Chain A
């Protein structure tokens, strides 16, 4: 005879045996956990994608770049940290039922919050969970961070789509990440905001690694000019060295794919934008992978938690 407290009794049993709820579960959950990732990898490289200005195609780039990395055989987790608009869901036609908040409050284990995207991509919606890290006691925090560490241990890349603008949250992500892509377009307003982003980061004591991506360019030359311009300005006035990672050409297929709620890399793999993004992914994975950060063996999510609570 089953009653409404069946799950509760199971939980109580396991708690008495000293198990944590995250490890709760029978064979089904074991299988699920095992299938979350095919192959274990070294510590994930955390790449945040950010922009000073909204509407430069940041979320779209995050998704397609993640997929391009998947196609290179990488295990990638896309982390939608855009607290305002759940763009990643919309652009990919996914709707995660749970978000990070459920993990932070211990209601779901991390693997249940992750949804499967195309090409083996895993997607996690952040909800407002991440910023709650600051409000937990050290015991709770430890337990949750160990959940997050699972992600870092098993993926090659964690791509974080941050909100637009330069809020405290966005800054925390940028400072905690191994590196950040600052997305801009050739429009002067977008360039100015990208520079602003670099400037804010340059004023922090923590050294962050920033790379520029110029989106929606007419041709490669326009991309190079804009990338070079911001790079030079940052070097001269902020004493900040940026990499120019590359550009993505303006391409009607992009808007077509957005209308169809599919990533353009999948629906128009031979379009100019898809080729450009694949190139970016190739360059990203070719640049020397950082072993965490220089002289710092700490983990992304612990650093993040520290930034949120400062």
Chain B
């Protein structure tokens, strides 16, 4: 019987680990990379708490889609709140040579979109918001309603405290979210939050950001990678 099982190609050594990895992987949903339909402008919005790396992630995606996919990419920033936010984006804009529009108010979004109507992908950067501040979330909602994003990625730092995690998603959930994007994977060794989110929400994970380098440190999420991260933590080996 054993021989038969073995001959069928199931390895005995490490089989528990394999099994675990597979079953963890099956828990996690991923979206794959952003879908782009050339010739049709799709708006991709990034939202999330302050300091999680929304702008950096956005620039990584914008440059990957510009250089690797040869698509026409544009940027809109609605973050006129934080000092230096627009300037930061302008620096990147100058490097990549992309059109950037600034929207101070939700009612400026239609104009910005009109100017970018020749773009295949438009990335919308939003101001970091405290999930505790209801008014801020309402503002965010107005920006999203004006820009009608095809995808809204909630950006979450992998260093987020577990006790803060669910409240963040719940509060930001007042706007329609359809992707999780995890950042700062290189700043922690505990990745249990992937499973916590997978257990509570059926929202797929889009990208994993693994460092500060633009555009290299951003990869499309796979269930295997996530399972490996979670298990790597359990095995105490660096991943």
Contacts and interface: CB of A to CB of B under 8 A. Distances in A.
A108 to B, nearest CB: 9
Contacts of B38: 137, 139
Given A91-B9, A107-B64, 17 more contacts: A4-B214, A7-B214, A8-B96, A9-B95, A21-B68, A57-B7, A57-B8, A57-B9, A85-B22, A105-B64, A127-B222, A135-B35, A250-B7, A258-B9, A258-B10, A258-B12, A259-B13
> What is the predominant secondary structure among interface residues of chain A facing chain B?
helix
Interface string B65-107: 0111110000000000000000000011001110000000000
Contact of A143 (B2, B70, B97, B222): B70
A222 B190 CA distance: 53
B213 interface: yes
B199 interface: no
Contact of B69 (A4, A106, A250, A258): A106
Interface string B33-56: 101001000000000000000001
A41 to B, nearest CB: 29
20 contacts: A5-B95, A7-B215, A8-B92, A8-B96, A8-B214, A9-B95, A12-B67, A12-B96, A85-B22, A86-B224, A90-B14, A91-B11, A102-B219, A102-B220, A135-B35, A143-B70, A252-B3, A254-B7, A255-B3, A258-B6
Contact of A107 (B6, B10, B212, B219): B219
B18 interface: yes
Given A216-B7, A261-B13, A8 B68 contact: no
Interface string A114-151: 00000000000001100010010101100100000000
Contacts of A140: 69-70
Interface of B: 2-3, 6-14, 18, 22, 32-33, 35, 38, 56, 59, 63-64, 66-70, 91-92, 95-97, 212-216, 219-220, 222, 224
Nearest to B120: A137
Nearest to A61: B9
Nearest to A138: B38
B7 A261 contact: no
A259 B22 CA distance: 18
B32 A128 contact: yes
Contacts of A128: 32
Nearest to A125: B224
Given A107-B220, A250-B7, A5 B214 contact: yes
Contacts of A261: 11, 13-14
A250 to B, nearest CB: 7
Given A260-B13, A261-B11, A261-B13, A12 B6 contact: no
Contacts of A72: none
Contact of A7 (B3, B9, B213): B213
A143 B212 CA distance: 28
A11 B63 contact: yes
A218 to B, nearest CB: 13
A87 interface: yes
Contacts of A258: 6, 9-12
A15 B67 contact: yes
Contact of B11 (A54, A127, A259): A259
5 tightest A-B CB contacts, nearest first: A106-B68, A255-B6, A55-B8, A4-B212, A8-B214
Nearest to B33: A105
A52 to B, nearest CB: 14
Nearest to B225: A97
Contacts of B14: 90, 261
Contacts of A127: 222
